[in-house]
Amino acid sequence: MSAARLRELLLSRGREWPAALESFEVLDSTNDVMRERAKDGAAPWSAVVADRQSAGRGRRGRAWASPPGNLYLSVLAGAPSQPRWRPLVPLVGGLAVAEALAEFGVEAGLKWPNDVLAGGRKLAGVSAEASFGGGGPEWIVLGVGVNVGVNPGTVDPGLVGRATSILELTGAAPDRLAVAAALLIRLHDRHAELEAGAGGALLDAWRARSVAWWGRAVEVVSGEQALRGVALGVDDGGALLLRLADGRTETILAGEARELRLDE
Ligand code: BTN
């Protein structure tokens, strides 16, 4: 993949990209490089793509299978200046990814906080790693992995039946740089809306794309805690509302949720 070509693709869509774009054949993790760039003072919207990663990271310390053929991208986003919108950044990341993938014929759904699913299988993942200064987060590295041409279940037995790819869903693997360009534009525009204070409208757009599991039994792992209950929805701060067995409603700011099977 070539960063120069990514810049041209963006320009052909009317975007003169405001920051550095870099491409690599292989990296441990695009997130690590982007974090280094951020510490060195990189401009917001700097981005890094790689053909493959040797130590790709998922959320909660999991590995992210990163064979050649898929897209691995990290982009530096500023933290929204209004603190109340900051918790929405991960959700807006997932929303922007799902919207960008629609350009390639895929209708993806969102599972709180930001899993991008198609037919119940994972198509893309988004991570948000923030750096905190005295006054709150200073910058956020959004890391996006999109299964473009390879279903990771074919390289990682643990993912069999749980992942899919654009190729599997549509019969064609689009140009990964075209996917990267669509993602960057969507992330940039949705983030600008958040900065402009449109968090409520963004949450409505997120809810409209969320997978239909409201009212279902789920387990949420948040920090060291695993909570079971009924998923009620997402509140105006982007937190998951979970009704516990004792009738209380728990507000969960961050974590990982999965639907429970009937026998669990
Ligand atoms: C998840 O667990 O769903 C988040 C996955 C995020 C993976 C991407 S791939 C590009 C970037 N580099 C990484 O090491 N992780 C993110």
Confidence band, pLDDT 50/70/90 cuts, at residue 221: very high
Q: Dihedral sign for Cα 113, 199, 31, 97, please.
A: positive
pLDDT the model gives residue 207:
95
Which contacts of 220-225 are long-range, i.e. CB under 8 A and separated by 24 or more positions?
220/252, 220/255, 220/256, 220/257, 221/60, 221/255, 221/256, 221/257, 222/252, 222/253, 222/254, 222/255, 222/256, 223/255
Q: Which of 37-41, 68-72, 75-79, 81-85 has the lowest mean pLDDT?
A: 81-85
Q: Which pLDDT score is estimated for 262?
A: 72
Cβ of 143 closer than 6 Å to ligand 1, yes or no, is yes
* Beta bridge partners of residue 196, listed in sequence order: none
For the chain, what is the radius of gyration of the CA atoms?
18
Ligand 1 pocket test target in 31, 51, 73, 146 with most atoms within 8 Å of CB: 31
Q: Using an 8 Å Cβ cutoff, are 148 and 69 in contact?
A: yes
Residue identifier of the C-alpha nearest atom 15 of ligand 1: 57
pLDDT at position 204:
95
Please choose, from the candidates 260, 236, 257, the residue with its C-alpha nearest in 3D space to the C-alpha of residue 115. 257
In this structure, which amino acid lies at residue 59?
Answer: R
| Residue corresponding to tokens 């958040």 | 194
Q: At what angle do helices 199-209 and 176-195 cross, to 10 degrees?
A: 140
Is the C-beta atom of 72 inside 6 A of ligand 1? yes
Tens of pLDDT, residues 170-198 = 999 999 999 999 999 999 999 999 999 99
Work out the mean pLDDT of the chain and round it to a whole number.
93
> Once rounded to an integer, what is the mean pLDDT over residues 135-143?
85
pLDDT, tens digit, for every residue of 59-69? 888 899 999 99
DSSP letter (8 states) at residue 69: T
**Strand ranges of the sheet holding 47-53, from the earlier edge strand across to the other edge:** 21-27, 47-53, 71-78, 136-146, 121-133, 115-118, 109-111
Highest-confidence segment of 154-168, 175-189, 224-238: 175-189
Taking residues 82-111, report their average pLDDT: 94
